[in-house]
Structure 1
Amino acid sequence: MFVRRNVTAWVPTALVAVCLLTTSCAGQDDTASAPRTTPSASAPHGYVEGAQEKAEQQSRLVLNDPVTGDTRVLDLITGKTHEVPRTSGTTKLTTDGRFGYFHTAGSTRALDSGAWMVDHGDHVHYYRAAIRDVGRLPAGPGSRVRSDAAVTAVTDKDGRARIYRRAGLEKGKVGSARPLPGTHAGAVVPYAEHLLGVTDDGKVAVYDREGKRAASPDAGCEEVRGDAVTRRGVVLGCADGALLVREADGTFTAEKIPYGDDVPEKERATAFRHRPGSDTLTAPAGERAVWVLDVGERTWQRVKTGPVVSANTAGEGSVLIVLETDGALHGYDIATGKQVSRTKPLLTGAPETDSAGPAVPVIEVDRSRAYLNDPKGKRVYEIDYNDNLRVARTFDLDIEPALMVETGR
């Protein structure tokens, strides 16, 4: 793999409070494949067996060609790619920040990318470890995987959910699962030491981690599609807008964030993308516009664009980044809706669309950079979205990265 650098190679820096600023947070060994050791009574705060703690975000990209099955993990710190076992016939690739989930016709394969973070609120721990194959979950097409620090919930296309202990996946084993009673209209989402779902009749349901019903807010979400976990709560996409479900002192409440106008079904927000940790969500709003949902302000903004392939934003005053059918990235000021930046066409050939299958180029965003995959060109672009969408690095690959997710965030 060769990296073309447009500028001096960028090395990410931590933009949040990290463990080096906290005397109780000590670093770990400096090799990604450090031998596993047994924690002792003197193990430092933040100790994770078999991993090293780092001072900055350890971002990696998981990449897959669903036709050939070729799969790579691109380490954005070192610029090196790692070859991992093939997965053919992938219909969707998702992540929970550490694991890549390859959804196929018969099951969902879990890959530990070896990069993740733990947010303690006032400080953050960043970790890196060896990449390894975990195994397959019994969930095929249409399944949805959602996780928190303790559990992973897998909801199949029929709405049945099974709950896995996170500790098992972290040790490299899928393990047994606990079924959640009933069926659900959308994904079951772990949140605030509970499990949040929407029943088939559109009612919000809250369960404890053992699967028992807990007190639920008296709220509904008709035609639920799309969900996102933010610092302010869980956002669910509904027919009339969004529903924000929050927890405080063990009590769950729900608040509607309506569109404000009647929105045609084809223009509703049904799949959210955002920078992890951000409260600004994006979603396509038909063919030539993007929804921006400010969860903090409880407002929707519909930004008119060119024909949309994919979109994302870092939030907090950053531009809305839209990949349009001309193959270029376009930056829009969210407040005014005006285009403020544009790249040259970056994709090789016409970009795929949702109707063409799973191979839709995506925009992944972290605290400093954005990443765009160019499947036909066998490359990934690193974009400095704070500098007029400047191409900071180009990673040339030996596979067609039709599917991509970022981990370590």
Structure 2
Amino acid sequence: MPHRSRLAARTATLTFTALVLTGCAGAGAGVPAASPASSGHGAVDGATEVSEPPLALVTIDPAGTVRQLDLLDETVAELGEVPSSSRASTDGRYVFADSGEGVAVIDSGRWTWDHVDHFHYYLAEPAMLGEVPGRGPATVATTLSSTTGSTGVFFAGSGEAVLLDTAAMSRGQLVERFRLETEPHDGMIVPIGSYALVTQPQGGVAASVTVLDEDGVPGATADCTQARGTVTTRVGAVIGCADGALLATLVEDQVQLERIPYPEVSTAPPATTLAGRGGRPTVAGTAGDRAIWLLDTRERSWTLLPVDRPIVQATAIDDEAQHVLALGADGRVVVIDGATGALLSQTEPLVAESLATDAAHPTLIADQPRAYLNGPAEHVVYEIDYADAARISRTFETPTSPALLAETGR
């Protein structure tokens, strides 16, 4: 039977300011420590290395209250408050909350360092790092590292492209490597190594992508009509284009841009968002509301999977069973075979009320071996075992609406 737990705060709320704040004690109480954090391998001063991923869910309610649920021991901490936000994103450690007038940065104090053949896991005190100022909806682009490199923030209203120093964030500071002005448009700045990719508009719409060096000096440019959606996979950084995707990789410390076109025979709409399990090569996006695009960045190929119902979100698992998850317009989570497109299993309608409400936007998150889905109108967060016939393994009730959801610690 599904497990139901009460997601209620047990620590005092902190006040949000533009300064670094120390988070609540007691995070990750259920994770045994392996050893003190040492230099390198994703460690930072004050962090403790632990023996397993310190997984947690961060929720932000409509008033801006930030809570973190430890998925191992089910304890909950209130981390602080941010301005009321319309969307959130994460790199697995930091949560970026977009208010339309800036992006608040929350350090969950949990992260995984990926060394390809093995991993290191860390716990530190959570903190509210402050706000990156900007105007209009923001697009945040991250890498696979929470302690090195950069993080990109692009503000559509002002056309400002900001590159943040991720290593400084790991020390509790918001430091801008540079801030560039472009024509206002729905664009992005995507970090890769010591470089970044920034969209260039034509007629107010992103039309190309330019490589920037660590000082913001432009280099090579590639066409990318109607650039929408970005994600970093184990292979490289991806930007969606009207005719396919642009894949950026590092070859001998230089950025190499490759075009991955959609199949010529396809008339399906392009994917405007791409999502998948962190650190894997395959990502997914909706192709209209009746199909899913799968992009394998390792094979440089697209696959189109028709679905038997209207869907609103899709995400790739990229496991041996080739699971692909989608959120149906009726509120069900469906599990699809990524090789054949066959329906493997489905849940009951879990978030139908939220999908019928313009102000509520459920988010489906893929992990291994679970997926997570928030019901803002239902005041619940679901944990779904997609490999076990889409079984609801746990249901967490929330004291306020979990309007925004992010997973941390992975």
The TM-score with structure 1 as length reference comes to 0.83
Alpha-carbon deviation of 1:346? 2.0
- Structure 2 distance, partners of 1:264, 1:108, is 36
| Residue 274 of structure 1: aligned partner | 276
| Residue 396 of structure 1: aligned partner | 397
- Asked if 1 retains the 8 angstrom alpha-carbon contact of 2:189 and 2:196, the reply is yes
3-state SS in 2 of match to 1:199: strand
Is 1:144 the counterpart of 2:139? The answer is yes
Q: 1:331 aligns with which of 315, 329, 335?
A: 335
| Residue 247 of structure 1: aligned partner | 250
- Structure 2 distance, partners of 1:321, 1:33, is 28
- Structure 2 distance, partners of 1:262, 1:63, is 42
Is 1:205 the counterpart of 2:210? The answer is yes
Is 1:59 the counterpart of 2:55? The answer is yes
| Residue 382 of structure 1: aligned partner | 383
**What amino acid is the match of 1:369?**
R
- Structure 1 distance, partners of 2:351, 2:407, is 19
Alpha-carbon deviation of 1:177? 4.8
Alpha-carbon deviation of 1:223? 1.2
Alpha-carbon deviation of 1:209? 1.6
| Residue 283 of structure 1: aligned partner | 285
| Residue 294 of structure 2: aligned partner | 292
- Structure 1 distance, partners of 2:312, 2:290, is 9
Aligned length: 371
RMSD: 2.8
| Residue 173 of structure 2: aligned partner | 173
Change beyond 3 A, Cα 1:283–1:45 = closer
Q: 1:125 aligns with which of 116, 120, 126?
A: 120
| Residue 103 of structure 1: aligned partner | 98
Cα displacement string for residues 75-102 of structure 1 (whole angstroms, at most 9, x for unaligned residues): 1122112113233431111112211111
- Asked if 1 retains the 8 angstrom alpha-carbon contact of 2:234 and 2:280, the reply is yes
Among the aligned pairs, what percent are the same residue?
Answer: 35
Is 1:161 the counterpart of 2:164? The answer is no
- Asked if 2 retains the 8 angstrom alpha-carbon contact of 1:326 and 1:350, the reply is no
- Structure 1 distance, partners of 2:322, 2:338, is 8
- Structure 2 distance, partners of 1:43, 1:65, is 36
3-state SS in 1 of match to 2:355: coil
- Structure 1 distance, partners of 2:332, 2:195, is 41
**What amino acid is the match of 1:81?**
V
**What amino acid is the match of 1:61?**
L
- Asked if 2 retains the 8 angstrom alpha-carbon contact of 1:309 and 1:351, the reply is no
Is 1:342 the counterpart of 2:346? The answer is yes
3-state SS in 2 of match to 1:121: coil
Is 1:87 the counterpart of 2:92? The answer is no
3-state SS in 1 of match to 2:387: coil
3-state SS in 1 of match to 2:164: strand
- Structure 2 distance, partners of 1:33, 1:6, is 20
Q: Which runs of 5+ in 1 are unaligned?
A: 8-29, 35-41
| Residue 109 of structure 2: aligned partner | 114
Q: 2:324 aligns with which of 320, 334, 340?
A: 320
- Structure 2 distance, partners of 1:92, 1:332, is 27
Q: 1:77 aligns with which of 51, 59, 72?
A: 72
Alpha-carbon deviation of 1:376? 2.1
Cα displacement string for residues 26-49 of structure 1 (whole angstroms, at most 9, x for unaligned residues): xxxx97599xxxxxxx95654421
**What amino acid is the match of 2:81?**
R
Q: Which runs of 5+ in 2 are unaligned?
A: 6-24, 30-36
- Structure 2 distance, partners of 1:340, 1:122, is 30
Alpha-carbon deviation of 1:313? 2.1
Cα displacement string for residues 55-113 of structure 1 (whole angstroms, at most 9, x for unaligned residues): 211122111122x3333111112211211323343111111221111111322111111
3-state SS in 2 of match to 1:167: helix
Q: When you count strand as a share of all residues, which structure comes out higher?
A: 2
Change beyond 3 A, Cα 1:181–1:332 = same
Change beyond 3 A, Cα 1:141–1:74 = farther
- Structure 2 distance, partners of 1:134, 1:392, is 33
3-state SS in 1 of match to 2:222: coil
Change beyond 3 A, Cα 1:84–1:140 = farther
